[in-house]
Amino acid sequence: MKLWDKGIEVDKNIVSFTIGRDRELDEELAGFDVLGSLAHLEMLYSIKLISKDELKSIQEELRKIYSSIKNNEFKIEEGVEDVHSQIEFLLTQNLGDIGKKIHSGRSRNDQVLLDLKLFTRNKIEEIVRQSRLLFDQLIEKSEKYKKVIMPGYTHLQVAMPSSFGLWFGAYAESLTDDLQILHAAYKVVNQNPLGSGAGFGSSFPLDRQMTTDLLGFDQLSYNVVYAQMARGKMEVTVLSALANLANTLAKLAMDACLYNSQNFDFVSFPDELTTGSSIMPHTKNPDVFEMIRAHSNAIQMLPAQIQAVTSNLPSGYHRDYQLTKEFFMPAFDKILSCIEMTRIMLSGIKINKKLLDDERYRHLFTVEEVNRLVMDGVPFRDAYKQVAKMVDEGRFNFKSKLKHVHEGSLGNLCNDKIIDKMNNIFMQFNFHKTKEAYMNLLNRL
């Protein structure tokens, strides 16, 4: 079954090639297609395109379909092109001609746009909530290990004293920026395209503000041509935000792999979180972090893949957009699994608290000594040369206590301020608004 079927048999190779993975991916959109249909249905009733009895009949049937989706009983049947066709087929099968009325004032173009936006809102919420859990874990470890000194490196050379508190806290604050960028992408997503039809609107007196409110959108995509042009652009915007988050995860994973190596020995992981070698019995490999790094790096390439498909398309709908789903939709579960596995690995991380006993870190405090001399009145450049000479002659030794007090330093992590940042960003998403909208649609009489 195809919504565009005109009674002409289409070559099976054409059908197979143009559908691609749509049927498989569309099952993830099914629940959102029902929610969109419920909102559209109420709007059709408000403009008198369906009767009250028809409204109630179709509402009841859509809610049954929604329950079957939630119970994993919904399938797109063989010969049915996509999720939109399957739902309309079920409505028509169970209600007769009444079921055919639901497509009035809609195109598959604005249906899939709507479904993708509702799907994306939902996935962004999952990512934000999971990122918040990772953030809380990093802050907890930052506080726990804030007094444990570790070497800071630049150019992979021993540089200045850092701490595990600083290290964990750095990734926590990185997540605040990642979620700030993701919030900007969420605002782009959170605009209603329903009613734009095939990209040119409708002669029906559609109430697009009504469906915007019913679905919990912040606002409309007003211009119907632009609503369609936003396909591809939305995906790039969201994937670019995910790429920032993936960059944080990849860098943390790289640090963990490096610090877990014998040459660094900053951290270690229990046997149950590592893997071994088929030939070397002594190895404990951080394979999970290596996979997180690989997946995260691959996610960072996805915006370019979408752009490659869509960047030279003119306005209006083109079938090219179908391919974007294959890059776009799987990205969410990939990054969610990376966040989850990062949390699992960090739950078992063991910190080496005796790093500074190692002779290789004897020059870690040269800048501290320079600063001490400056505080005693020695000009900085002279102090620098004095300490450099001590290092060259093998006489350098540092015995003083560390005194770092400025914001964000060893002695003043400002984790409370970073938590405030995260709380403010988290609240801006206003996720409860969409939840309330969905509950109203599913329970409205």
- For 417-438, what is the mean pLDDT? 96
pLDDT at 21 > cutoff 80: no
56-81: b (≥16 Cβ within 10 Å) or e: ebbbebbbebbebbeeeebebeeebb
Give percent above pLDDT 90 in the chain: 78
Chain CA centroid to CA 73, Å: 28
- For 42-67, what is the mean pLDDT? 96
Confidence band for 19, pLDDT divided at 50, 70 and 90 = low
Question: Considering only CA atoms, which of 163, 128, 144, 27 is closest in space to residue 84?
Answer: 27
Strand, coil or helix: 3: coil
Q: Which residues pair with 151 in a beta bridge?
A: 161
pLDDT at 20 > cutoff 80: no
Confidence band for 18, pLDDT divided at 50, 70 and 90 = low
- For 384-412, what is the mean pLDDT? 90
pLDDT of residue 16: 55
Which tokens belong to 437?
């909208």
CATH number assigned to the domain covering 12-104: 1.10.275.10
pLDDT of residue 282: 78
CB 306 within 8 A of CB 328: yes
Which tokens belong to 59?
């509402």
pLDDT of residue 13: 58
- Cα torsion at 66, 430, 232, 70 (round to 10°)? -20
CATH number assigned to the domain covering 109-355+416-432: 1.20.200.10
Angle between helix 30-46 and helix 83-95 axes, rounded to 10 deg? 60
Q: Which residues pair with 268 in a beta bridge?
A: 350
pLDDT of residue 360: 87
pLDDT of residue 4: 42
- For 316-344, what is the mean pLDDT? 93
pLDDT at 39 > cutoff 60: yes
pLDDT of residue 8: 55
> CA–CA distance from 262 to each of 137, 151, 412 (Å)?
25, 15, 31
Min mean pLDDT across 43-57, 236-250, 260-274 is at: 260-274
Which residue's entry shows tokens 């450099």?
388
pTM, full prediction: 0.91
CB 336 within 8 A of CB 126: yes
Q: Which run of H or E residues covers position 267? A: strand 267-268
Give the start-end residues of each E strand in 338-390: 350-351
Strand, coil or helix: 274: coil
- For 31-56, what is the mean pLDDT? 96
Angle between helix 108-144 and helix 224-260 axes, rounded to 10 deg? 30
pLDDT at 426 > cutoff 90: yes
In whole angstroms, what is the distance from residue 350 CA to residue 43 CA? 58
Residue 65, by phi and psi: left (phi above 0), alpha (psi -120 to 50) or beta?
A: alpha
Length reported for the chain? 445
Confidence band for 273, pLDDT divided at 50, 70 and 90 = confident
Confidence band for 10, pLDDT divided at 50, 70 and 90 = low
In whole angstroms, what is the distance from residue 427 CA to residue 424 CA? 5
Q: What is the mean pLDDT of the chain?
A: 92
pLDDT at 131 > cutoff 60: yes
Confidence band for 322, pLDDT divided at 50, 70 and 90 = confident
* Residue limits of CATH 1.20.200.10 in the chain: 109-355+416-432
Q: Which are the contacts of 112, defined by CB distance < 8 A and separation ≥ 6?
A: 29, 84
pLDDT of residue 24: 75
* Residue limits of CATH 1.10.275.10 in the chain: 12-104
